[in-house]
Amino acid sequence: MQKFEKEIQNKDNFKYIFSSPLNKNDAKKIIYRKIEANTIYWQEEKFIENKVIHKNFNEDEISITLINSMQNFKQCCIQNENATINAFNNNGKIAFKKVLRTNKCNLSHNKEKSYFINEGDNVPFLVELGIFNNQNKIITAKYDKFKQINRFIEIIDDNLKKYNKKEINIIDFGCGKSYLTFVLYYYFTNIKNITAFISGYDLKADVVENCNKLAQKYSYTNLKFYNEDVANVKITNPVDMLITLHACDIATDYALNFAINNNIKYIFSVPCCQHEINLSIKKGGDFDCLLDYGLIKERFSALLTDTVRANILECKGYKVDILEFVDFSHTPKNIMIRAEKTTKAKEITKDIYTLKEKYNFNQKLLQLQTI
């Protein structure tokens, strides 16, 4: 066992896979992954019967944890940038077989791509939601969706570096099949060790029913879904974060209006299908030439819609960023409105009203915030 203790002192090791348990009552397999996010920690993924249990360890705890695991398994596969090392436990005597890599890994986060969930991870709800197949491989048709939800989590993680509360209350408007909602719950509870209370709202009753069944199946007790219109939602407890992923047309406006009126600290919104201005805009300003061509008019209207939304949020005391959500090749709806409440609200500036008067367009968030 001393040889094994020496081997795990290698700081370049980023993954341990324990298999072939010595006791039938033990876990069938345990995987430890090195996670390089804000701080370095290790995530344990333990396979017991049909369940997968996750737990995190800091750098000081991982050595004794690995030694204890090696005592209970016949084999451990150790991975680092330069080699794969197989350790074999024969009655406490450890033998090693090392295979050098011909090509070094490009390592980041999990020493691969900077994803919080990677292909091959055992995340059962992603199989049921159709992102992974039964071998935990990404289904080709869902690759873009996989990248979107990981990018969304990456942005949230970056924005909440200073978040130090033990709980967080989140609302997801227009949650749909809830790919993002489930991953967000997994991220906070399994990776960040923050108790998350997440409510998803959607207009499709069958989708909401299926999502609730899935949450119950995996004992996600604080993840609930409701069949209700965004415009009619009432809350009794403060909400820390609001998210929307491709909420269609004015549904995004109702969601942003809800966030403003309820003083929600964090907003992460990826708009979709900005039809309202496109259908109502008339010539009358300096950019009339952009309205002569259907495709350009559509894109101009979409950009104008999100510009108005961002300006209104700034007037209501939010620090706002407009950023590229994912590469345009993955989805043309690739703009995210990221906002954090930092100051007191003030009156909406005259510039927005002047723009509206020139082009005579309708914009739902502007209407809702001036009623």
Question: What is the C-alpha to C-alpha distance for residues 27 and 46, in angstroms, rounded to an integer?
Answer: 6
pLDDT of residue 327: 54
Are the beta carbons of 264 and 241 closer than 8 angstroms? yes
C-beta atoms surrounding 96 within 10 Å: 13
Least confident residue range of 126-130, 211-215, 329-333, 367-371: 329-333
Whether the per-residue pLDDT at 3 is higher than 50: the answer is yes
Residue with tokens 């795990």: 8
Residue scoring higher pLDDT (284 or 116): 284
pLDDT tens-digit map of 306-324 = 999 999 999 999 999 999 8
Phi and psi dihedrals of 2, rounded to 5? -65, -35
Are the beta carbons of 42 and 57 closer than 8 angstroms? yes
pLDDT of residue 110: 41
Ranges of each domain in the chain? 2-100, 124-368
Whether the per-residue pLDDT at 38 is higher than 50: the answer is yes
pLDDT of residue 333: 63
pLDDT tens-digit map of 124-164 = 889 888 888 888 888 877 888 888 888 889 899 988 888 88
Whether the per-residue pLDDT at 331 is higher than 80: the answer is no
Residues 153, 159, 164: CA angle, nearest 5 degrees? 105
Share of the chain above pLDDT 90, in %: 48
Question: What is the C-alpha to C-alpha distance for residues 20 and 72, in angstroms, rounded to an integer?
Answer: 9
* C-alpha dihedral (339, 345, 347, 348), degrees to nearest 10: 10
Average pLDDT over the chain, rounded to whole?
87
Question: What is the C-alpha to C-alpha distance for residues 240 and 199, in angstroms, rounded to an integer?
Answer: 12
Between the CA of residue 207 and those of 42, 138, 188, 271, what are the distances in Å?
35, 22, 23, 21
Average pLDDT over residues 353-358: 91
Buried b (16+ CB within 10 A) or exposed e, 144-166: ebbbbbbbbbbbbbebbeebeee
pLDDT tens-digit map of 21-36 = 988 777 889 999 887 6
pLDDT of residue 223: 96
What is the fold of 124-368? Rossmann fold (3.40.50)
Question: What is the C-alpha to C-alpha distance for residues 159 and 169, in angstroms, rounded to an integer?
Answer: 16
Whether the per-residue pLDDT at 244 is higher than 70: the answer is yes
Phi and psi dihedrals of 111, rounded to 5? 60, 30
